């Protein structure tokens, strides 16, 4: 039996806890990638950032979690990546 990283209150997933975990995970990845992207032109950085499979990465981290957690995490990281890319494109 797997113990989840996330709480359920009366059987209901604590979505905020999942969203916070995903945000922390996403920003830790960005810190790593920014070390490389800062040496590139903005257009190249946007292109490379677009190619990062964020959804796959988060799902690998949450492989032991149930489908509800995985789907919420997938949607959340997709949204965070889109926001970051939109911000980066503003510099083009």
- Residue boundaries of the structural domains of the chain: 14-89
Q: How far apart (Å, rounded) are the C-alpha atoms in residues 35 and 32?
A: 6
12: which DSSP letter?
Answer: E
- What pLDDT is recorded for position 4? 92
**CB atoms closer than 10 angstroms to residue 77:** 23
Query: Is the per-residue pLDDT at 3 higher than 90?
Result: no
**What mean pLDDT is reported for the chain?**
95
pLDDT tens digits for range 19-38: 999 999 999 999 999 999 98
84 contact partners, CB below 8 Å, separation of at least 6: 30, 49
Q: How far apart (Å, rounded) are the C-alpha atoms in residues 74 and 63?
A: 12
pLDDT tens digits for range 29-82: 999 999 999 899 999 999 999 999 999 999 999 999 999 999 999 999 999 999
Query: Is the per-residue pLDDT at 1 higher than 70?
Result: no
Query: Is the per-residue pLDDT at 2 higher than 80?
Result: no
């Amino acid at each position: 039996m797997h113990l989840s990283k996330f709480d359920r209150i009366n059987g209901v997933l604590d979505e905020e806890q999942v969203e916070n975990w995903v945000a922390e995970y996403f920003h830790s990845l960005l810190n790593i990638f920014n070390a490389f992207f800062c040496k590139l032109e903005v257009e190249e950085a946007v292109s490379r950032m677009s190619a990062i499979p964020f959804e796959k990465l988060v799902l690998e981290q949450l492989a032991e979690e149930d489908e509800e957690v995985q789907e919420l995490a997938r949607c959340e990281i997709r949204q965070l990546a889109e926001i970051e890319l939109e911000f980066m494109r503003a510099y083009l």
